[in-house]
Chains A and B, each alone.
Chain A
Amino acid sequence: MLKPQPRVTALNRPFWDGCREGRLLIQHCPACAKSIFYPRVCCPFCQHGELDWVQASGNGKVISHTTVHRTHHDGFNAEAPYVFAAVALDEGPCFYAQLNGAPIDGTSLIGRAVRVEFMPHGPGLRIAAFRLA
């Protein structure tokens, strides 16, 4: 069964194009130098209206994580239980993704270094996931 598909919009299209090319793109504010994710129409720190897209390092640290047993969508049933995490990208923003290959037994992974990878996700889409570094 197909997983939930993101709505690809004019605003977030660079991000999804980047995933297809194996590049993690995030926004960057030229005015206050903050990095931004998810994609915004203006900088949520200083409200500057023109943001740049830049390639993130793909490295981050686990803020918190959960082993999902009961999925929110049948498209994920085949892979449950799996680990889902909030990751602090080295550039700053919080990013949500699956943590591939991580232990599902609840061992604390908070603070562990992770590295991005990309997985197929429906027609013409790839999606970012992470793996313990």
Chain B
Amino acid sequence: MAAIFEGVRIVGAGQAQYTKKSTKSVQRLFYEAGSAALADAGLSWRAVDGIAATSFLFPPDNVATLAEHLGIEARFLFQGLYGGASGVIGMAHAARAIRDGTVEAVVCMAADSFDVAAHNATLDHFNGSVQEFMSPQGFGGANGMFALHTRLYMERHGATREDFGRFCIALRQNGLLNPNSLFKQPLTMDAYLNAKPIADPLRLYDCVMPCIGADAVVLVSERVAAGLKGPSLRLLAAEEIHNFPANDPYRMPAGFAGFGERLFARAGVTPAQMDFAQLYDDYPVMAFVQLEGLGFCKPGTAHEFVRDTDITVGGKLPINTGGGQLSAGQAGAAGGMIGVYEAATQLLGRAGARQVQCRRGLVSGYGMVAYGRGLCSSAAILERVE
């Protein structure tokens, strides 16, 4: 059977510097992350004939004006409208365009320049249902929305604050090995449990820190990859699902269970064969929902899984090996790309002090918070070409 993304290779990964404050425009952040990813691959911008880009702060600009800004003549453009699910989805669209022979080299990236105020202002006007039926009612932003899911998860499954704490502490351990992570101190359980209350049961370290940053990977045709010195990766499968299950935000807060089995079946591998998982960790409860929906553990048991499994870089299933958004920071839409970057840089063998022994791994995305949950879920499985 032909591979789903036959003839497509991932050859480079790069980031802009993550910072708390900066005057850089998103165009500049895109340029820096894209340049880093291209340099990682051994390519220049001259080779690029497609761009997939996502940023909440794009308007009034867009991916076409980004192409103009960068001077790229593009035969393929994708602009992510799916929040944190866009990174994986953009990569999949780019892979289809390369497979179909439309383009030879696509830079897939996401960037934003956020602080707490910009994050709240963006979310307040994210879409009609939030603007009309959540924000005026006092939902407390994304924190409030996911506090509801966290409380419900705890009540349904008996998870405790300590279970979420263990997850956040492990990610911090991973993040301390990542020079581009914004948090530089270990997180203790005491500090986690007694942090400033945000939206009960969420406290400060359950919530990502809005920041400035950008992440990118480079996808090319097999023909282009053959001319490069470095290793390359295959995209074994990628799935997305939206508004699943319809009309029911609390049976499942995300759609991962709607494609988990299908993703692995199409990739021809199993969750047990994953050497890492880069999950979308806007809140620890959502990472739990992904572990369950994607088949790493049974529904309602992710808190037990995290209790019993070492998820740090040296562990049985390393999760968010660069610290994830919870420890590296959430640069807006780049939160949906940081896992793609991390998966690629791990499999390319360029993760430095946090390098995991790995051949294949999973990355997931989640976003577009609307009436009570994020509507968009995505995931992909990557494998190094031996």
Q: Interface of A with B (CB < 8 Å)?
A: 3-7, 9, 12, 37-38, 44-45, 63-73, 76, 81-82, 84-86, 94, 96-98, 104, 106, 108, 110, 121, 127-129
Contacts and interface: CB of A to CB of B under 8 A. Distances in A.
Contact of A72 (B131, B144, B148, B247): B144
Given A73-B120, A86-B148, A67 B200 contact: yes
B47 interface: no
Nearest to B243: A44
A3 B199 contact: no
B265 to A, nearest CB: 29
Contact of B151 (A5, A66, A94, A97): A66
Interface of B: 120, 123-124, 128-129, 131-141, 143-144, 147-149, 151-152, 155, 196-202, 246-247, 249-250, 371-372
B135 A73 contact: yes
Given A67-B199, A129-B137, 15 more contacts: A12-B132, A38-B132, A44-B247, A64-B250, A70-B197, A72-B144, A81-B200, A82-B138, A84-B138, A84-B144, A84-B199, A96-B137, A110-B151, A110-B152, A127-B136
Nearest to A3: B136
A38 B371 contact: yes
B372 A96 contact: yes
The 10 residue pairs across chains A and B that have the minimum distance between CB atoms: A72-B141, A66-B147, A68-B140, A67-B200, A64-B148, A6-B132, A64-B152, A69-B197, A4-B135, A66-B199
Contacts of A121: 136
A96 B139 contact: yes
Chain B interface main SS type? mixed
A63 B128 CA distance: 22
Contacts of B132: 6-7, 9, 12, 38
Nearest to B142: A72
A84 B139 contact: yes
Contacts of A85: 148
Nearest to A37: B133
15 contacts: A6-B132, A7-B131, A65-B151, A66-B199, A66-B200, A70-B196, A70-B198, A71-B141, A72-B124, A73-B124, A85-B148, A96-B139, A98-B137, A108-B155, A128-B137
B133, B137, B197, B201 interface centre (most CB from chain A within 10 Å):
B137
A68 B190 CA distance: 22
A67 B247 CA distance: 25
B144 A94 contact: no
A72 B139 CA distance: 8
B375 to A, nearest CB: 13
Contacts of A129: 137
Nearest to B134: A96
A84 B152 contact: no
Contacts of B138: 3, 68, 71, 76, 82, 84, 98
Contacts of B124: 4, 72-73
A27 to B, nearest CB: 13
A45 B148 contact: no
B100 to A, nearest CB: 32
B128 to A, nearest CB: 7
A66, A67, A129 interface centre (most CB from chain B within 10 Å):
A66
A63 B145 CA distance: 12
Contacts of B199: 66-70, 84
